[in-house]
């Protein structure tokens, strides 16, 4: 706990799911957390779920990571209130349906790409400017196979831009690692590749899944992130694959 005490962590998508679990667990480990999210009421609810004596360690910033100016303003605020950033966890995500060939779902495709790919790009760029050393985490999906395709299931047969954006993010993680290495920076990168998680990205389908398939809790993913975060300075865990026991795919 001493190593993490009063370290500064920025967490996107902190209003629910994995982001909320990370925020709560990080604070219990002694970190100071800037919770970033679009829904301020959700962030407030997370704050209320934190033990009262630790709530001052949770700072709320309303921000849509799809909007570059929002991200710039958020990290400018962080730079004015804290002495840099030690950890960035990219949890912001959306799930949008639609075949790539569809004519009327272009906004859904944009939401997927702008949140997963461009939102992450904006956040990493701005956080990097506030890091002397540190650790950046990315969340990708094992539901997306190596060729970028999602296996056909009746309830998930039209989520094709989700597959594309996840595949792009996986490639970006290694690119970031190489860029930090070339700049001789002590910034670690870790990709957390997850199976099905009970979160509100597509909660109705997850509830259907629960009756039929095993699933992870958001706290399971937070545990994996904390494991990687607490490794010695000379150790970089580049990828953690985590799925529920007995998952089919």
CATH of the domain at 188: 3.40.50.720
| 249 belongs to a structural domain | no
- pLDDT at residue 145 in the model: 59
User: Residue 79: inside a domain, yes or no?
Assistant: yes
- The predicted structure's pLDDT at residue 132: 87
- For residue 39, give its domain range: 8-242
**Cα four-point dihedral sign 158, 147, 128, 226:** positive
Task: Indicate the pairing of strand 58-62 with strand 186-194.
Answer: unpaired
Determine the pLDDT at residue 174. Answer: 94
Report if residue 167 sits inside a domain: yes
pLDDT in tens, the chain (249 residues): 478 999 999 999 999 999 999 999 999 999 999 999 999 999 999 999 999 999 999 999 999 999 999 999 999 999 999 999 999 999 987 766 667 777 667 787 787 888 889 999 999 999 999 998 999 999 998 776 555 455 545 455 556 677 778 888 989 999 999 999 999 999 999 999 988 787 655 545 555 555 567 888 999 999 999 999 999 999 999 999 998 888 776
Q: In angstroms, how far is CA 184 from the centroid of its own chain?
A: 25
Q: Is residue 138 part of a domain?
A: yes
At 240, list the tokens. Answer: 């953690």
Rounded distance, CA 172 to CA 176, Å? Answer: 6
Q: Among 101, 205, 77, 225, which Cα is nearest to 153's?
A: 205
Question: What's the number of domains the chain is made of?
Answer: 1
The residue written with tokens 């970089």 in the block is 236
In a domain, residue 248? The reply is no
């Amino acid at each position: 706990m001493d190593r993490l005490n009063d370290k500064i962590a920025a967490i996107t998508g902190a209003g629910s799911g994995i982001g909320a679990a990370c925020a709560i667990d990080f604070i219990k480990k002694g970190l100071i957390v800037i919770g970033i999210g679009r829904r301020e009421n959700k962030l407030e609810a997370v704050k209320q779920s934190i033990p009262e004596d630790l709530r001052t360690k949770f700072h709320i910033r309303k921000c849509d990571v799809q909007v570059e100016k929002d991200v710039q303003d958020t990290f400018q605020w962080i730079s004015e209130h804290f002495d840099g950033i030690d950890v960035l966890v990219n949890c912001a995500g959306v799930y949008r349906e639609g075949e790539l060939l569809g004519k009327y779902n272009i906004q859904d495709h944009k939401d997927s790409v702008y949140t997963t790919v461009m939102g992450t790009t904006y956040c990493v760029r701005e956080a990097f400017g506030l890091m002397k050393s540190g650790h950046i985490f990315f969340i990708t999906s094992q539901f997306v196979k190596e060729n970028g395709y999602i296996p056909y299931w009746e309830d998930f047969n039209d989520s094709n831009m989700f597959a594309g954006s996840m595949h792009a993010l996986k490639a970006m993680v290694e690119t970031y690692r190489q860029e930090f290495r070339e700049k001789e920076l002590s910034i670690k990168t870790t990709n957390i590749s997850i199976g099905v998680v009970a979160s509100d990205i597509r909660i109705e389908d997850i509830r259907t899944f629960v009756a039929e398939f095993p699933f992870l809790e958001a706290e399971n993913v937070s545990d994996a992130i904390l494991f990687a975060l607490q490794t010695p300075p000379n150790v970089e865990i580049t990828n953690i694959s985590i799925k529920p026991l007995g998952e089919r795919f």
